[in-house]
Amino acid sequence: MKFDKNTVKKLSKKETNLILLKSGTLFYIIGSIILASSLLSLTGNCKVNSLVFIIPGILLIAFGFRKFLLNNERKEKFLTSKLLDQAIKLEKKKGNRFSKEEIEKIKFEYDPIFHDKVIAGIHREKDNEYARNVRNAERKVKSLEYSRKNEIRRIDNNRWQTVDGENLKYNLVEGKIRINKTEHLFSAIKGAEVNKQDSYRVITTNNTVTTEKGKSKKHISLGKAVVGGVLLGPAGAIVGGAMGKTTTNGKTTTSGTSVSNSIPTCNHIGVVIDINGFKSEVVLLNRTVDQSSRVYITSLQRAEEIVSKLHFLATQPVPETFIKVEEETSVLEYDRQIVEAQEELEKVKANTPTYDIPKKYLR
C-alpha cells in the first residue's frame, strides 16, 4: 500500500478543522450530557449539587478541543496519522485485506506518531538494559568493597585477645594493649596494682543494718606479681600477687543485752595501670558485696590475673615490623578482585546501547 505523506499539506482549512473537531467527539458527547443534566437540575432547586457537575462538564468539552492547541509539527503528525487510518479503512472497503504485521509495517513507515512510539519503546528497552547492566556491575564492586572491610575487621579482631571484655585487650602481633578502648605499646606499661576498697556492715539483734562503717584500701602491685613470677613460674605469679592481700573476718560484739555482728564487705575492685606515668583503671566490681560472696572472690581473682597478665605483656618486645592488616593475603586478593570489577564496570559504561529497528517493521 502506498500513501502520500504530502496529502496533509493538500487539506483545506475546513477539512483540517473538521478532522481536529472529530477527534474530540467522545468528550463533547459526555461533557454535553453532564452539562445539560446539571443545567436542568437548576430548575429543581438543587443548585449546590448542580454546580458540582457543571464544572466537570465544561472541562470535558474543553478537553475535546485540545488538538486545536497543538503546534504545527505535532498537528501535522496527528493529521497524517488520521489520514493514514482513513486510507487503510478505504483499502479494506475495496476488498484489500491486511494482516496485523502488514498494518504495523505500513504505520511504521507512514504514521509519524506510531513510528515515534515504536522508536521510543526500542530506546526505553535498550536504555533499561544498559542501566540494569551498569547497576549490576556497580553492585558487584560495592559487594567486594564491603567484603574487604569485613575481612579487615575479622583479621583485626583475631589479633586482639581479650583479658577483660572490651576494657582490656592485647595484640601480640603489633605489640599493643588496649585499655578502655585506648591503645598503647607494651613498653608504655610501667606498673599495675589492684585497687580494693573494703567496708563492713553491722547487724544488731533487732536486725537493724548499718553500712559503710569503715573503709580500707588493699593494693597488689605489679612488683609483687613479678616476684611471684620469678620464684614460682607463671602459675606462681598469681600467688605472688596475692601476698599483698589481707582478709578481715566478721566480728561479734556484745553490749549489755544487744549483740552486733560486723560483716566484711567490698565496694570496689579494679586494676590501676600506670601508662608512662598516667593512671588508667579497669573496673571489675563497683557495688557493695560481701567478701564471702562468689562475686567478690571471682572479681578479686580476675584482678590478680590481670596484674599477672600485665607483667607478662610489659616484658614482651614491641615488634619493629609486622604485616599490616591491609597487607594480609586475603585482603590483597579482595583488592585484586575489586580492580577487576572496576575495570569491568568501566567497560559496561562504555558499551552504550545501539538502537536497531526490529525486522518486523522493515519492508
Residue 110 CB-density burial (10 A; 0-12 exposed, 13-18 middle, 19+ buried):
buried
Residues 148-176: what's their mean pLDDT?
A: 95
Helix (H) or strand (E) segment spanning residue 132: helix 112-159
Residue 78 has pLDDT above 80, yes or no: yes
Pick 220 or 319 by higher pLDDT: 319
Asked if 145 and 119 touch (Cβ cutoff 8 Å), the reply is no
pLDDT in tens, 271-282: 999 999 999 999
- The dihedral through the CA atoms of 302, 304, 307, 313 has a sign that is negative
Asked if 218 and 246 touch (Cβ cutoff 8 Å), the reply is yes
Asked if 192 and 224 touch (Cβ cutoff 8 Å), the reply is no
Asked if 315 and 293 touch (Cβ cutoff 8 Å), the reply is no
pLDDT confidence band for 2 (50 / 70 / 90): confident
Q: Going along 224-286, which residue ranges are E strands?
A: 251-255, 258-275, 278-285
Please provide the distance, in angstroms rounded to a whole number, between the alpha carbons at the two ends of the chain: 11
Asked if 223 and 209 touch (Cβ cutoff 8 Å), the reply is no
Residues 132-152: what's their mean pLDDT?
A: 97
Predicted local confidence at residue 164, as pLDDT = 87
Predicted local confidence at residue 50, as pLDDT = 63
Predicted local confidence at residue 47, as pLDDT = 52
Going by DSSP bridges, is the β-strand pair 189-204/182-185 parallel, antiparallel, or unpaired? unpaired
112 φ, ψ to 5°?
Answer: -65, -30
Predicted local confidence at residue 234, as pLDDT = 37
Radius of gyration for the alpha carbons in the chain, expressed in angstroms and rounded: 46
CA torsion 224→225→228→234, rounded to 10°?
Answer: -170
Asked if 265 and 211 touch (Cβ cutoff 8 Å), the reply is yes
pLDDT confidence band for 247 (50 / 70 / 90): very low
Asked if 210 and 200 touch (Cβ cutoff 8 Å), the reply is no
Predicted local confidence at residue 258, as pLDDT = 60
Residue 240 has pLDDT above 50, yes or no: no
Domain ranges of the chain: 175-314
d(CA 172, CA 166) in angstroms, rounded, equals 17
Predicted local confidence at residue 126, as pLDDT = 92
- 10 Å Cβ neighbour count for 252? 9
DSSP 293: S
d(CA 5, CA 110) in angstroms, rounded, equals 7
d(CA 223, CA 206) in angstroms, rounded, equals 46
Predicted local confidence at residue 326, as pLDDT = 95
Residues 40-60: what's their mean pLDDT?
A: 71
pLDDT confidence band for 253 (50 / 70 / 90): low
pLDDT in tens, 52-62: 778 888 888 89
Predicted local confidence at residue 186, as pLDDT = 96
CA torsion 126→127→131→134, rounded to 10°?
Answer: 60
Predicted local confidence at residue 7, as pLDDT = 84
Predicted local confidence at residue 8, as pLDDT = 85
pLDDT in tens, 310-355: 999 999 999 999 999 999 999 999 999 999 999 999 999 999 998 8
Predicted local confidence at residue 49, as pLDDT = 59
Residue 231 has pLDDT above 50, yes or no: no
User: What type of residue is 327?
Assistant: E
Residue 90 has pLDDT above 80, yes or no: yes
Residue 354, CB-side half-sphere exposure with 13 Å CA sphere: 4
pLDDT in tens, 7-37: 888 888 898 889 888 888 898 899 888 888 8
Residues 99-108: what's their mean pLDDT?
A: 89
Residue 257 has pLDDT above 60, yes or no: no
pLDDT in tens, 292-304: 999 999 999 999 9
Residues 71-83: what's their mean pLDDT?
A: 91
d(CA 290, CA 298) in angstroms, rounded, equals 12
pLDDT in tens, 188-203: 999 999 999 999 888 7
DSSP 351: S
Q: What's the distance, CA 277 to chain centroid?
A: 43
